[in-house]
Structure 1
Amino acid sequence: MPDESAATFHAVTFRFAAPRDADTIRAIEFEAGLRFASVGMTGIADAPPMALEIVERKIAAREIIVAIDAAAICAGFVMFEPQPTRIYVQELDVLTSHAGRRIGAALIGEVARIAHARQLTQLVLSTYRDVPWNAPYYRRLGFRDIDTADLDAALIARRDAHIARGLDESKRVFMRRDLE
């Protein structure tokens, strides 16, 4: 589990986000969103980052982990929401300048360690089915698709909230990774 001493991974350390990280997290999210223009999803590419208040609330709740590289640059983050039997991974973003270093995989590993420490059995997320750095990426990390018929009430509510925000759920998929 990340702490101020931080875990190390290929000259990258992981720790819970601090208030000083809020603007950087928003900038990373914005930069990551720009990639969606390359797959014709300009609505995402043009979207503003999360509201500062949301980021600050998640930081205060210790629900964002950041990846800090050897040059002290915040290279990525994962934002998550603990639930009764699992952790919902809300967002995972890594700077394009740091892509290909397995930082995203390591951030998911940090969330899995938190889940294990809390005796939670699963990681769950929702993502775009056909975007290469979305569902295909998560499948390589051990996530598998959840059939729509198998969505529980909490995931159905989340899907409904996505629809209310204007997301096209026909292009999205819920996924899970069972933890040992």
Structure 2
Amino acid sequence: MSSPTLVIRPALSSDLPLIPQIEYQAGQIFRVVDMDAIADDAPPTIDSLAHYASTGRLWVAVSCSDSAAPIAYLTADLLASDGLAQVAQVTVLPEHARRGIGASLLRYLELWAREMKLRGVSLTTFKDVPWNRPMYERLGYRTLGDEELQQEGLRGLRGLVEEEGRNEVLKRWPRCAMVKMFTG
């Protein structure tokens, strides 16, 4: 997927050392909403990123007008029991934020998930952070209620929510599970 100034492509091994810096820089905005522990969270390791890349689940956005260096990335997990692609992380460098790059990465993931014959895309995010849940809602994702999350077909997503609930850092701020299910 591309536009005149944006290309989304699978990550190259040369991209991997640049991605932790994207995560670190983008994470600093959490300080604005008094979520310093999130801003201080360790970025993904090169080994973790290499795993995502080797399994075809790490994509980067590059700006043709700047350089070939990534300005954003997305990693995805497979929730095989649910038939869903799970957004593990989507992050955009602050100087490129609010230009639709994250949305473009999500649309790319949705196309990939359709090609993989999955039922949809899921994610977990902070409920009350102004640039999280509202952005996903604008892109057609909907928040699952507690009862919906108990459905048999969402066992993997429910497990992720429970795991996040045990995470000492994440459980300090309300989170929610969201999905965008495909029709037809």
Taking structure 1 as the reference length, the TM-score comes to 0.91
Partner residue of 1:48 out of 27, 42, 53: 42
1:79 matches 2:67: no
In the alignment, what sits opposite 2:158? 156
**Rounded Cα–Cα distance in structure 2 between residues aligned with 1:63 and 1:163:** 25
Tell me what 1:172 maps to. 175
The answer on 1:110 being equivalent to 2:108 is yes
Give the length in aligned residue pairs.
Answer: 174
After the TM superposition, list the runs of 4 or more consecutive aligned residues in structure 1 that deviate by more than 2 angstroms: none
Among all aligned residue pairs of Structure 1 and Structure 2, give the percentage whose two residues are the same amino acid.
Answer: 28
User: What amino acid is the match of 2:167?
Assistant: R
Q: CA deviation at 1:138?
A: 0.5
The residue type equivalent to 2:114 in the other structure is H
TM-fit CA distance, 1:83: 2.8
Deviations 1:40-70 (A, max 9, x none): 1000111221122111111111111100101
Amino acid at match of 2:115: A
| 1:21 paired residue among 15, 19, 24 | 15
Partner of 2:57: 63
Separation of aligned partners in 2, 1:47 and 1:118: 32
Residue in 1 that maps onto 2:136: 138
Q: Which of residues 36, 54, 57 in structure 1 aligns to 2:30?
A: 36
Contact 1:89 1:125 in 2 (8 A): yes
Note the alpha carbon deviations across 1:52-108, whole angstroms, 9 max, x for none.
211111111111110010122311011101233111111110011111211111100
Provide the rounded CA distance (Å) in 1 between the counterparts of 2:174 and 2:101.
Answer: 26
Aligned-pair distance for 1:169? 7.0
Match of 2:89 among 86, 91, 94: 91
Q: Deviations over 1:98-148 (max 9, x none)?
A: 112111111001001101111112110000001111111100111000012
- 2:8–2:61 CA contact under 8 A, matched in 1: yes
> 5+ unaligned residues in a row in structure 1: which ranges?
1-6
TM-score, scaled to structure 2: 0.89
Q: Distance in 1 between matches of 2:17 and 2:165?
A: 27
2:15 aligns to what SS in structure 1?
helix
User: Alpha-carbon deviation of 1:170?
Assistant: 5.8
User: Letter of the aligned partner of 1:132 in structure 2?
Assistant: P
